[in-house]
Amino acid sequence: MEAAVWLLSYVSSFFFVFAATFVTFSGLLLLVRWRPWCNCPVCRAYLSSSWTAEFDNLCDWYAHLLRQSPTGTVQVHVLGNTITANPDNVEYMLKTNFDNFPKGKPFSTILGDLLGRGIFNVDGEAWRFQRKMASLVLGSGSLHSYAFRVISGEVHHRLLPLLAFVSDPLADNTMELQDVFRRFAFDSVCKISFGLDPGCLELSLPMSEFAMAFDRASTLLARRAATTAPLVWKLKRFLNVGSERGLRRSIRIVNVLADEVIRQRRILGSVSGHDLLSRFMSSVVEDDRYLRDIVISFLLAGRDTVASALTSVFFLLSRHPKVVAAIRDEVAAVTKEKDENDEVPSYEQLKDMHYVTAVLHESLRLYPPVQFDSKFCLEDDVLPDGTMVTKNARVTYHPYAMGRMERIWGSDCFDFKPERWLRDGLFIPEGLFKYPVFQAGLRVCVGKEMALMEMKAVIVSVVPRFDIEVINGGRSPHFTPGLTATITGGLSVRVHRRSACE
């Protein structure tokens, strides 16, 4: 008996020592990898947050550093991250040597609790399958026609009546525009991607709870990606404490929404549906977890990015009345023979509005919804600008900073200037590696054209009818950390309806 007790005690001690040694060794490896003791100016400023004395947003500080760099590339050693705003590097990562720069397991681990095996969080066959399915659906003319009808209906029956109500002279004329665009985009993506009107969902919580849960999850995941010690959040997740406990709670709420979307889609039947979810359900009917990941990914793409882009457009338009006037002139010229009962121009008319297209692209250049995107290097490599990156290192290209680089856009890169996209009045796009707002290469956004159509439909319907005045519009936006660009506190505006003679 004593021998057995002694043996049990010995074995327990052995495993304790082994575990302690393993944890210590792992910790030392992490220290070597992230080098938190690095005393270079960039790492020192990042760790001490001293950059906040001069910059309101981390993205603005990074843009400053990248402008100062001769190569347009900097390294933040404490994050193990190489950040670039060099178009040659972007092309190398997203096209030339695409296979060596996947999303990577570290990135999938950071976002996996929310995005799972969704298209934005996977590589290899899983990514190729989802992209092929999405491309087949999003590239079809029938879906474009269906999507335009959905968006026109949302604008006609919900957005414009809401703005008209707020603009009533007897009201206070104020509203939070970012929230309005999020609701608009959420309704649109549910109908287009899932074939559902959110009003049909039998949810146990108000829709606002799901929106807040989605936003909290996005913020907390962004914090994971910005930490210099991933072991800390992984330990907190294991123990289910602090921010990780809050993240788990938020994701649980988001899952309720995703599960209800899938349930309702099944009730309606997936075989006859033309939406994205129906197509995926026909292929992976039995895997509800996989379907949930797909639903969350398209919600992220359809709600957050569109709402972010539209918010930025109207923020900039409030500062540039001449651009507003030019939009109104173009809309009037293109739609002069439009049916008076149609509040949204036709799909073909939207295509003819070159100045509006330029305005939208210029706004996205300055305020891309996804400010940066990271990949992880599979094997040691050298970027075209001579920067060496090691195996498993994180490499980030930064569209927000790229829009503020004189060497890319000229000395007026900080100016909101839609004319830079026009040649003899016609919209001329720039190369995607210079302008990776929709990514580029093999991962270029498959929903790009649909998103542009949705945003243009909103702009050309709202701008001719309403004056949107941003309250405290003289201040530059402050962004909340998250997967997409979100203005902290929203965008408060005053809405005034224009008279027919204006």
Query: String of b and e for 381-394 (b: at least 16 CB within 10 Å)?
Result: bebbeebebeeebb
Alpha-helix residue ranges (DSSP H) falling in 56-140: 58-68, 87-91, 104-115, 124-138
Q: How many CB atoms lie within 10 A of CB 74?
A: 20
Please provide residue 78's backbone torsions phi and psi, each rounded to the nearest 5 degrees.
-70, -20
Structure tokens at 461: 């319907």
Structure tokens at 166: 């707020």
- CA dist 130 and 359 (Å) reads 32
Sign of CA dihedral 397, 398, 401, 402: positive
Residue (of 369, 371, 393) closest to 380 by Cα position? 393
Residue (of 389, 201, 411, 414) closest to 316 by Cα position? 414
**Residue 448 — left, alpha, or beta (φ > 0 → left; ψ -120 to 50 → alpha)?**
alpha
Contact 437, 399 (CB under 8 A): yes
Alpha-helix residue ranges (DSSP H) falling in 167-275: 177-194, 207-226, 230-239, 242-268
Please give the DSSP secondary-structure letter assigned to residue 370.
S
- CA dist 110 and 205 (Å) reads 27
- CA dist 267 and 288 (Å) reads 14
Write down the residue that tokens 């979810």 correspond to. Answer: 277
Structure tokens at 237: 């997740």
- CA dist 453 and 450 (Å) reads 5
Task: Tell me: is residue 445 an annotated ligand-binding position.
Answer: yes
Please provide residue 423's backbone torsions phi and psi, each rounded to the nearest 5 degrees.
-130, 115
Neighbouring residues of 10: CB distance < 8 A, sequence distance ≥ 6 = none
Annotated binding site: 445
Annotated binding site for heme: 445
